[in-house]
Structure 1
């Protein structure tokens, strides 16, 4: 996971989204707002709705390279995902900054899973609504789940690049930062789906090969066009977190240290 770039919706799409949200906010009570959030989102989030066509176009442009999931970066992203679940937070059902593109294998398990650090106690509290629970507002508190639209996940998460290619918390246990990282990794099953670490390993190998090719071509006097082509491939490849972590960890991994020393310009890609 990396932070998603900011992008502004076209003015008309943003105005329409705000109008959709006002209709929910004007409902009589919380339960009605929850019901409206679900029915209205299902109604408007369809092909041919100009507002959501614009939203999906913008989300696609925000993806790195191909249209890949904001969370796992592996599978095709074809679902507009609410970071804060609309069934818990109807006030965010039609809020642009609450949207990312996600894949089914990530969106399904996450669904309405959400937790906060309770405003009164500071304890981590699961606020998802279970079957037959009363429809009532969740406890107030700061979100636990990492929001890639509002913050940089790499501040809390690190990717192990030597063997497992697992995501791990960057901070010490018993800290808020650790709990947020652990909760996000577990909720999205970023390590337990065995094909994800394998895909990250393959991405690492490809990034490494491309950077070595760039170095060789540059040293042999290749044209700027050819070098820019390799740079473009690296910038647009899937699993951008792997590349981000290669740059961040290059000083502590010998094979990367020498390579980035030879190609320092790649640190800005």
Structure 2
């Protein structure tokens, strides 16, 4: 998980959200969850602006994703669903709140997350409890990482030991609240030790490492013939072009292939944990500019 970039849909869409939220908030507390569910199910058909508003919301969230249309939780699957970070069943007052949205895949959203959540009880304590369905929230102090406003890498870290590629609470956490938030987030989403995700992270690690090696080799090339040996099908070196232009084109393409690949957390952790990864550290020493690639 990574922190999402900040963005916002236009004023008209935000006003549409505010109108729907006001309808919910005007009801007695006990009726709000049902109304939130009803309005959400009909969100594309509410008035003349519903479909347009949520098309813009979806597009804006797509542009905010940590990778090209990647689920912001698992970073592996297509980001298809508008996910409520604070579940609307527990927090109907956030059902139509822009800052409560991100895009997730169907697996993360409907199989793992659902309306699972954890809060600190009482608020500001370190006592985190998983919320129970049909029970009123004991607080609004989330024991769950919100990547819209928090940096998940403060709380979580990839474990490269024995090539496990598990996502775990950051080992240098000392605040009990931070430890609880990391632990409950992983428990809810199950993104830490899913076998398929660990295998995909390992593959991503190898991909990033090989691309960094190729970047180094292209940068150190001196002739078009060198570039021809390094280019990959179906790309070709344009021998009618200058060496400098072709070299720069290849370097740019390699950098973009890293920044657009799935599992960007793996890349960020390679940067952060490079001192414990000898070969990776050597590559970053050779290509120090890559430490700023995000």
Which TM-score bucket, shorter chain as reference? over 0.9
Instruction: Answer yes or no: is the 8 Å Cα contact 2:167–2:193 preserved in 1.
Output: no
The residue number in structure 1 matching 2:238 is none
Report the TM-score when normalising by structure 1.
0.92
Instruction: Answer yes or no: is the 8 Å Cα contact 1:115–1:128 preserved in 2.
Output: no
Instruction: Answer yes or no: is the 8 Å Cα contact 1:159–1:242 preserved in 2.
Output: yes
- Once the 2 structures are TM-superposed, how far is the Cα of residue 172 of structure 1 from its aligned partner? 4.9
CA distance in 2, matches of 1:159, 1:203: 13
1:203 maps onto 2:204 in alignment: yes
Residues 79, 183 of structure 1: CA spacing in aligned structure 2 closer, same or farther, 3 A cutoff? Answer: same
- Once the 2 structures are TM-superposed, how far is the Cα of residue 190 of structure 1 from its aligned partner? 1.1
CA distance in 2, matches of 1:224, 1:174: 46
The residue number in structure 2 matching 1:214 is 215
Question: Which of 247, 257, 263 does residue 287 from structure 2 map onto?
Answer: 263
- Once the 2 structures are TM-superposed, how far is the Cα of residue 13 of structure 1 from its aligned partner? 1.1
Matching of residues 173-252 of structure 1 within 5 Å: 175-221=176-222, 223-252=247-276
Question: Which of 110, 114, 120 does residue 113 from structure 2 map onto?
Answer: 110
Give per-residue Cα distances to partners, 1:131-150, cap 9 Å, x unaligned.
Answer: xx46xx31125211111111
1:20 maps onto 2:1 in alignment: no
| Structure 1 residues without counterparts, runs of 5 or longer | none
Matching of residues 77-96 of structure 1 within 5 Å: 77-96=79-98
CA distance in 1, matches of 2:105, 2:143: 21
Matching of residues 14-53 of structure 1 within 5 Å: 14-27=14-27, 29-45=28-44, 49-53=51-55
SS at match of 1:142: coil
Instruction: Answer yes or no: is the 8 Å Cα contact 2:2–2:66 preserved in 1.
Output: no
SS at match of 1:251: helix
- Once the 2 structures are TM-superposed, how far is the Cα of residue 66 of structure 1 from its aligned partner? 2.5
Matching of residues 36-185 of structure 1 within 5 Å: 36-45=35-44, 49-108=51-110, 109-119=112-122, 122-129=126-133, 133=134, 137-162=136-161, 163-170=163-170, 171-172=172-173, 175-185=176-186
Instruction: Answer yes or no: is the 8 Å Cα contact 1:88–1:128 preserved in 2.
Output: no
Give per-residue Cα distances to partners, 1:236-266, cap 9 Å, x unaligned.
Answer: 1111100110110112211111110110100
The residue number in structure 1 matching 2:7 is 7
- Once the 2 structures are TM-superposed, how far is the Cα of residue 174 of structure 1 from its aligned partner? 7.9
Comparing both chains, which one has the higher relative contact order based on Cα–Cα distances under 8 Å and sequence gaps of 6 or more? 1
Instruction: Answer yes or no: is the 8 Å Cα contact 1:173–1:179 preserved in 2.
Output: no
CA distance in 2, matches of 1:178, 1:140: 18
| Structure 2 residues without counterparts, runs of 5 or longer | 223-245
Bigger Cα Rg: 2
